[in-house]
Amino acid sequence: MQIKTSKIYFDEQLYLESGRILEGYTLAYESYGELNSDKSNAIVVFHALTGSHHAAGKYEGDSKAGWWDPLIGDGKVLDTTKYFVICVNVLGSCFGSSGPLSETKKGRPPLRLKFPVITISDMVSAQMSVFKSLGIKKAYAVIGGSLGGMQALCVGVEYPQFTDRVIMLASTHATSPWAISFNKLAMEGIVKDKRFQDGNYKKEDFEEIPLNGFAIGRMAGHISFLSPSSMQKKFGRNYVETDGLYELFGRFQVERYMEYNGYNFAKRFDPLSYIYIIKAMNIFDASRNWDSLSDSLKNIEAKMTLISFRGDMLFMPSEMETIRDALRDLGRGERVEYYCVDSSYGHDAFLIEYDKFDFYIKKALEN
């Protein structure tokens, strides 16, 4: 599988949904396989909140492959001998694309908390510049889970000519109060931590000792990615062998796991980027600029494949069913396929239990 990692700087204005303007911006992306002669074989993969453009393969020295490696590659579901697969790091992220800690035009200091609020529409609008620069006028398919699913839906609504196939996994048409509540815990933990310094920290400040408030907020958020069943199966009531049962701060295995996940994540992900991206998720509503959800969805021309997971407590199956039902009410029933995967893993099932849904993606690509 041919892997290429690139960055593009766009010396142009990006008009944001808020009315503000970015004066030039950079987007990092990774691609796999090769574009065919008429550039009609591109599959766009949108990443989730904590993901990046590194969706598959390994960099030199890596022990872990990209976040969707089981699905992307030669002979896999997203077959890179047939398709050109591309994943762009979203605007606001900390893995190469322009965000709150990026240097601005002419080498000016980062905007930090003065960086404008961005939306899912803004993320997609910026990515369209990448596709245009590569000569991709129409993608074979767009696909994404969670935050990536929001981007995929946005493409279907706002760029109806861009693709004939939209595949959404574990996502929603509008972020619910339940999901916003988990994000609030993370945001409060970050901004109320004294070491955050109102966003005026150095990039390297948290590499060794992470921001405590961020780590704790991440632990809370991580609970929403799992489920009671998956936690019971993975940890049970097992206790850490080296901790005493009657030590006040002795830990169950699940507690040690939450600590490990929260503090390690807070070392590798920038807290400013995190609060900007969860803000984009929180305000996502596919019907916001329309009279209703149906009024928004009637713009979609692509075939929709919706995949939810029964144990998902963050973006519940009923939220995807709302999209399906609205399309059916519009007389588009033959243009939408909905599958609820029998999984008890939780929201992260779309990143873990590939064998339970990969054939649905394959079917959507072959139709």
- Quick check: is 229 catalytic? no
In the set 146, 227, 230, 296, the catalytic residue is 146
- Quick check: is 312 catalytic? yes
Q: Which two three-digit tokens encode residue 165?
A: 């196939």
Of 352, 364, 360, which Cα lies nearest the Cα of 70?
Answer: 352
Q: Which two three-digit tokens encode residue 144?
A: 């994404």
What value does the CA radius of gyration of the chain take, rounded to a whole number of Å?
Answer: 20
86 touches 79 (CB < 8 A): no
- Quick check: is 347 catalytic? yes
Q: Give residue for tokens 């993320």.
A: 123
Burial of 184 (0-12, 13-18, 19+ CB in 10 A): middle
Q: Across the strands, what pairs with 21?
A: 15
Residue 73 has phi, psi (to 5 degrees) of 155, 175
Please give, one letter per residue, the 3-state secondary structure of 21-83.
EEEEEEEEEEEECCCCCCCCCEEEEECCCCCCCCCCCCCCCCCCCCCCCCCEECCCCEECCCC
DSSP 142-181: EEEETHHHHHHHHHHHH-TTSBSEEEEES--SB--HHHHH
Residue 252 has phi, psi (to 5 degrees) of -75, 160
In the set 54, 102, 347, 348, the catalytic residue is 347
180 touches 282 (CB < 8 A): yes
46 touches 142 (CB < 8 A): yes
- Kind and range of the H or E run holding 336: strand 336-341
- Kind and range of the H or E run holding 177: helix 177-191
What distance in Å separates the CA atoms of residue 321 and residue 122, rounded to the nearest whole number? 26
Q: Which residues are catalytic?
A: 146, 312, 347
